[in-house]
């Protein structure tokens, strides 16, 4: 049994006077200790809502959450707010895109780290302080002892993100969910943070769910990748398989859309036509059909289901032929 | 203004459209209860010299806050340069005022990152597009204007029914198409595009990149593209300039820059860009830089990169600012030791991260007025 088992997770937003909107639609995946699982897709495909639902951080009103998220035998979705808060401090860590909004602006960085240490690891006074400085140092914050007394707004974006990771590490979580942790950062700082996360997974066996829109980040970090489209997983594969021969037309299209640093200049990009606003509802067929170059009649009539395809899984009536799917790396 | 009128103000070769010479833009940092004291300067652009050739795409890359946007705005005189020059063809833009500046602006248009905030939500697409034409007397007759607008919509891939709609009725990618169409209405020679695709999803980003390329061919445009994404810049640019803390540190053709980066910062930057290919990712070596970008209000002495440079040497690096010099034809670099680094005669070493104070003001110092320096600045 995996450390985290998400089964058939769905989130429906329902506002008064509006049609219900299904943001996450039957998502299932597993995460093992020491494993990094990626959730990728473009904005609005349901990545953040998936992670917030698992963490019990969705707003209390206006949505319906279905399915289960079983962490070491306990369905997190059935826990009370209090129980969930306790869990979040102890076993589950979370790092967000915008560290400023997840740090308390009026409490010093030091206190925010020591608080976690005191509450969840029973550390006291100086010991907690020393440990806090050690954690800041570990995540690469220069002059950590001095930084303890500073407030979030006094730190740069990269340092804030490190502080947030330090706080997440303070409880030595067994599962860390990182939602676009480097999207707001410069690329050299991103490289630092990603190497930090990688180290964390290898050294402590923490399981990592990496949420990102950046396929480059996924290629370097994730063991297994889930591609989301319109709230559903459309392809799941081990990372080499995914990048070497993506079979879902959407994944294939994404890979053709990204300019690669190592591609010779002059190579035309092959975009996906249209945009997410062209989607059709899943219950009328495949949401991607209006944008899909492979669409056949079936696609507008029956919803494709996620089926085993070699070692991976695929939700598609007419996937890219294996021969066409192989990408000759631009190297 | 015709070129003949100002001929002689600068020698220029035929194919240079824009020439920027030692351009500086410094912003004063104000303090005090009524912000009447200048306590320092943000050296946003601090001596940049470059040329953009007619018909090419020049890409400007660098990390947040290194001065890319300010350079573009300084060129177009949307912000007043502190010193230095910018020529457009033979015209020294610094000498232009009033009507002549306004006329010149027709030929240099800007496309912004966030199409929604740069498009007036209360204006229909038609009125957004006609506005610039009217301002520059290109709105000759109802008939011809309409024909022109339809042509442009077609060129940027929007249906003709868009004219009567409003910006909020469009997706992000479509709005960027409107922003591009608006720039094109006045038939510019130069388009300065500041992060034109960074707010877009990758699938849509690729559409807009292709569109920019097609339009360049169709209308003979020259682009100055500003972006933080090196992969995007490499893809669309003929030549690339890398900025660090207000200065250019390297400039080369897009291919040469990738094949043989000379400046340590460029090397680090290239090595940090993720490539969507696990084999490449697993095999490549990263040059991880320690610490943050220093504040442009308090730039390091000597080479501005020396606080983070893994190749930093005892001599020169922290005392003398290296000039951007021609290393080989078409490839300029600002590093004292570029030859030694390239030849492997000096090796990288570990760098300890230095504390970076935001805008050079110690966080311990009580702030007067608004809590953030940037707020005061803006
Ligand atoms: N109007 C202004 N007043 C004062 N300082 C400014 C002003 N505009 C920009 N700056 C400062 O000048 C520096 C360069 O800013 P600029 O916007 O040119 O950077 P950039 O390279 O475009 O960054 P980004 O990638 O984040 O857009 C920054 O430190 C910024 O805070
Ligand atoms: N609180 C909310 N109320 C209503 N709709 C929401 C809410 N949060 C997210 N959504 C919608 O759910 C969809 C998925 O959102 P999200 O998970 O944030 O996407 P992303 O994949 O970019 O992280 C989007 O269409 C978004 O607008
Ligand atoms: S199911 Fe049909 S429309 Fe959907 S991705 Fe596959 S081929 Fe395309
Ligand atoms: S001049 Fe010195 S510090 Fe600057 S980039 Fe070259 S080696 Fe590094
Ligand atoms: Mg999100
Ligand atoms: Mg900018």
pLDDT value at position B357? 56
Greater pLDDT, B244 or A105 = B244
| Residue A228 within a domain | no
| CA dist., res. B59 & res. B71, Å (int) | 12
| R_g of chain A, CA atoms, integer Å | 21
Which runs of E-coded beta strand occur in chain B? 16-31, 37-53, 57-61, 83-88, 91-92, 108-111, 190-194, 222-226, 239-244, 247-253, 325-328, 331-333
My answer on whether A184 and A263 are in the same domain is no
Indicate the CATH number for domain B15-377.
3.40.50.300
Among protein residues, the one with the nearest Cα to ligand 1's atom 14 is B67
Is A73 a pocket residue for ligand 2 (Cβ < 6 Å)? no
| CA dist., res. B170 & res. B184, Å (int) | 19
In the predicted model, is pLDDT for residue A253 greater than 50?
A: yes
Domain end (from A196, A222, A248): A222
Average pLDDT, chain B: 87
pLDDT value at position B317? 97
pLDDT value at position B370? 26
My answer on whether A170 and A120 are in the same domain is yes
Exposure string over A108-147, b if 16+ CB within 10 A, otherwise e: bbbbbbbbbbbebeebeeeebbebbbebbebbbbbebeeb
pLDDT tens digits, one per residue of A144-186: 888 888 898 888 777 888 888 888 888 889 999 999 988 878 8
Whole-number Å distance, alpha carbon A42 to ligand 6 midpoint, is 23
Reference A301, options A277, A320, A276, A282; nearest CA is A282
| Residue from the list B206, B207, B228 with its beta carbon closest to the beta carbon of A186 | B228
My answer on whether A188 and A241 are in the same domain is no
In the predicted model, is pLDDT for residue A101 greater than 50?
A: yes
pLDDT value at position B14? 52
pLDDT tens digits, one per residue of A262-287: 887 778 899 999 888 888 999 999 99
| Residue A209 within a domain | yes
My answer on whether A68 and A154 are in the same domain is yes
Ligand 3 probe mutation, A296, A301, A305, most atoms within 8 A of CB: A296
**Position in ligand 4 atom list of the atom nearest CA B338:** 6
Whole-number Å distance, alpha carbon A180 to ligand 5 midpoint, is 7
pLDDT tens digits, one per residue of B169-179: 888 889 999 99
pLDDT value at position A228? 97
| Residue A163 within a domain | yes
In the predicted model, is pLDDT for residue A141 greater than 70?
A: yes
Mean pLDDT of B46-54: 97
| CA dist., res. A19 & res. B251, Å (int) | 54
Range of the domain at A244: 233-329
pLDDT value at position A61? 87
My answer on whether A10 and A155 are in the same domain is yes
Q: In percent, how much of chain A has pLDDT > 90?
A: 59
3-state secondary structure of A192: helix
In the predicted model, is pLDDT for residue B378 greater than 50?
A: no
What is the enclosing helix (H) or strand (E) of B70? Answer: helix B68-75
Length of chain A: 331
Region of poorest pLDDT, from B49-53, B147-151, B191-195, B349-353: B349-353
In the predicted model, is pLDDT for residue B8 greater than 70?
A: no
CB-side exposure of B224: number of CA atoms within 13 Å? 31
Whole-number Å distance, alpha carbon B67 to ligand 1 midpoint, is 6
pLDDT value at position B360? 41
In the predicted model, is pLDDT for residue B49 greater than 60?
A: yes
My answer on whether A151 and A52 are in the same domain is yes
pLDDT value at position A298? 96
What is the ipTM metric for this complex?
0.88
| Residue A227 within a domain | no
Domain end (from A195, A222, A249): A222
My answer on whether A96 and A212 are in the same domain is yes
Is B62 a pocket residue for ligand 1 (Cβ < 6 Å)? yes
**Position in ligand 4 atom list of the atom nearest CA B304:** 4
Is B362 a pocket residue for ligand 1 (Cβ < 6 Å)? no
The CA distance from A46 to the nearest CA of chain B, in Å, is 14
My answer on whether A165 and A284 are in the same domain is no
pLDDT tens digits, one per residue of B196-210: 998 888 989 999 999
Exposure string over A31-50, b if 16+ CB within 10 A, otherwise e: beeebbbbbbbbebbbbbbb
In the predicted model, is pLDDT for residue A317 greater than 50?
A: yes
Could you tell me which residues come within 8 angstroms of residue A15 by beta carbon, excluding any fewer than 6 positions away? A62
Mean pLDDT of B81-88: 95
My answer on whether A137 and A240 are in the same domain is no
Mean pLDDT of A126-137: 90
Mean pLDDT of B221-235: 95
The CA distance from B99 to the nearest CA of chain A, in Å, is 40
pLDDT value at position B113? 81
pLDDT tens digits, one per residue of A83-99: 998 888 788 988 888 77
In the predicted model, is pLDDT for residue B64 greater than 90?
A: no
Give how far the C-alpha of residue A68 lies from the chain's centroid of Cα atoms, to the nearest Å.
18
pLDDT value at position B195? 92
pLDDT tens digits, one per residue of A211-251: 999 999 999 999 999 999 999 999 999 999 999 989 999 99
Mean pLDDT of B123-148: 92
Most trustworthy range by pLDDT among A106-110, A223-227, A280-284, A327-331: A223-227
Average pLDDT, chain A: 90
3-state secondary structure of A190: helix
pLDDT value at position B5? 41
My answer on whether A217 and A238 are in the same domain is no
DSSP letter for B39, please. Answer: E
pLDDT value at position A172? 84
pLDDT value at position B249? 98
What is the enclosing helix (H) or strand (E) of A8? Answer: strand A4-13
In the predicted model, is pLDDT for residue A323 greater than 80?
A: no
Mean pLDDT of B211-229: 95
In the predicted model, is pLDDT for residue B292 greater than 90?
A: no
Residues of chain A contacting residue B206, judged by C-beta atoms under 8 Å apart = 256-259, 269-272
Among protein residues, the one with the nearest Cα to ligand 1's atom 26 is B64
Residues of chain A contacting residue B353, judged by C-beta atoms under 8 Å apart = 140, 142
My answer on whether A51 and A177 are in the same domain is yes
My answer on whether A209 and A79 are in the same domain is yes
The number of distinct structural domains making up chain A is 2
pLDDT value at position A326? 66
| Contact check, Cβ <8 Å, B209/A259 | yes
pLDDT value at position B368? 28
| Residue from the list B234, B279, B352 with its beta carbon closest to the beta carbon of A265 | B234
Is B377 a pocket residue for ligand 1 (Cβ < 6 Å)? yes
Is B42 a pocket residue for ligand 1 (Cβ < 6 Å)? yes
Reference B349, options B304, B302, B317, B301; nearest CA is B317
Going by pLDDT thresholds of 50, 70 and 90, the confidence category of residue A331 is very low
pTM for the whole structure: 0.88
Going by pLDDT thresholds of 50, 70 and 90, the confidence category of residue B79 is very high
CB pairs under 8 A between A and B: 165
pLDDT value at position A275? 86
3-state secondary structure of A75: strand
User: Tokens 């079979």, residue?
Assistant: A247
Cα three-residue angle B368-B372-B375, rounded to 5 degrees: 100
In the predicted model, is pLDDT for residue B366 greater than 50?
A: no
CB-side exposure of B41: number of CA atoms within 13 Å? 10
pLDDT value at position A237? 96
| CA dist., res. B162 & res. B164, Å (int) | 6
Q: What are phi and psi of A53, to 5 degrees?
A: -65, -45
Q: In percent, how much of chain B has pLDDT > 70?
A: 90
In the predicted model, is pLDDT for residue B9 greater than 50?
A: no
pLDDT value at position A311? 86
Going by pLDDT thresholds of 50, 70 and 90, the confidence category of residue B29 is confident
pLDDT value at position B309? 96
In the predicted model, is pLDDT for residue A105 greater than 70?
A: yes
Domain end (from A192, A222, A252): A222
């Amino acid at each position: 049994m995996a450390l985290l088992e998400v089964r058939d997770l769905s989130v429906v937003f329902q506002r008064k006077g509006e049609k219900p909107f299904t943001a996450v639609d039957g998502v299932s995946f597993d995460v093992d200790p020491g494993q990094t699982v990626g959730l990728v897709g473009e904005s609005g495909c349901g990545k953040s809502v998936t992670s917030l639902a698992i963490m019990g951080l969705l707003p209390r009103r206006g949505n319906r959450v279905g399915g289960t998220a079983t962490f070491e035998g306990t369905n997190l979705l059935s826990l009370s707010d209090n129980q969930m808060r306790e869990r979040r401090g102890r076993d589950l860590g979370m790092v967000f895109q915008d560290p400023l909004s997840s740090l308390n602006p009026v409490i010093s960085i030091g206190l925010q780290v020591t608080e976690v240490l005191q509450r969840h690891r029973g550390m006291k006074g100086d010991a907690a302080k020393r440990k806090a400085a050690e954690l800041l140092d570990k995540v690469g914050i220069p002059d950590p002892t001095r930084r303890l007394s500073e407030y979030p707004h006094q730190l740069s974006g990269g340092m804030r993100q490190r502080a947030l990771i330090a706080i997440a590490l303070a409880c030595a979580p067994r599962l860390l969910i990182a939602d676009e942790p480097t999207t707001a950062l410069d690329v050299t700082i991103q490289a630092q943070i990603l190497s930090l996360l990688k180290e964390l997974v290898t050294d402590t066996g923490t399981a990592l769910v990496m949420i990102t829109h950046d396929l480059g980040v996924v290629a370097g970090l994730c063991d297994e990748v889930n591609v989301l489209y319109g709230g559903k997983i459309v392809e799941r594969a081990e990372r080499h398989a995914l990048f070497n021969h993506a079979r879902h037309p959407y994944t294939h299209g994404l890979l053709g859309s990204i300019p690669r640093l190592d591609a010779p200049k002059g190579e035309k990009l092959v975009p996906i036509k249209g945009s997410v606003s062209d989607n059709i509802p899943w219950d009328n067929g495949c949401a991607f059909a209006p944008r899909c170059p492979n669409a056949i009649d079936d696609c507008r009539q029956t919803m494709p289901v996620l089926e085993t395809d070699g070692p991976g899984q695929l939700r598609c009536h007419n996937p890219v032929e294996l021969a066409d799917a192989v990408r000759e790396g631009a190297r | 203004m015709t070129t003949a009128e100002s001929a002689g103000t600068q020698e220029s070769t035929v194919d240079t459209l824009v020439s920027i010479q030692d351009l500086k833009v410094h912003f004063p940092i104000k303090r005090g209860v009524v912000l009447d004291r200048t306590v320092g300067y943000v050296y946003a652009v601090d001596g940049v010299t470059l040329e953009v050739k007619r018909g090419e795409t020049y890409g400007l890359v660098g990390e947040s806050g290194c001065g890319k946007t300010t350079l573009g705005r300084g060129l177009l005189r949307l912000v007043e340069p502190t010193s230095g020059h910018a020529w457009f063809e033979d015209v020294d833009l610094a000498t232009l005022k009033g009507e002549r500046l306004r006329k010149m602006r027709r030929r240099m248009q800007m496309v912004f990152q966030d199409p929604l905030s740069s498009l007036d939500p209360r204006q229909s697409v038609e009125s957004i597009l006609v506005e610039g034409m009217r301002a520059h007397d290109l709105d000759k007759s109802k008939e011809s204007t309409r024909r022109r607008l339809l042509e442009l919509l077609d060129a940027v891939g929007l249906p003709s029914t868009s004219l009567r709609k409003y910006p909020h009725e469009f997706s992000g990618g479509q709005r960027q198409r409107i922003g591009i169409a608006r720039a094109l209405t006045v038939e510019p020679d130069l388009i300065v595009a500041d992060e034109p695709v960074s707010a877009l999803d990758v699938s849509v980003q690729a559409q807009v990149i292709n569109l920019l390329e097609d339009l360049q061919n169709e209308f003979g445009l020259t682009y100055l593209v500003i972006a933080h994404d090196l992969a995007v810049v490499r893809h669309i640019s003929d030549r690339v300039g890398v900025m660090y803390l207000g200065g250019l540190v390297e400039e080369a053709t897009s291919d040469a820059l990738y094949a043989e980066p000379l400046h340590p910062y460029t090397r680090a930057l290239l090595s940090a860009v993720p490539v969507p290919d696990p084999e490449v990712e697993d095999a490549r070596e990263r040059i991880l830089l320690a610490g943050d970008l220093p504040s442009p209000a308090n730039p390091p002495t000597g080479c501005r990169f020396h606080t983070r440079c893994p190749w930093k040497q005892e001599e020169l690096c922290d005392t003398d600012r290296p000039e951007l010099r021609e290393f080989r034809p078409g490839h300029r670099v600002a590093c004292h030791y570029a030859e030694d680094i390239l030849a492997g005669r000096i090796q990288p070493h570990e760098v300890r991260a230095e504390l970076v104070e935001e805008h050079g003001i110690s966080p311990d110092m009580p702030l007067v007025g608004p809590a953030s320096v940037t707020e005061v600045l803006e």
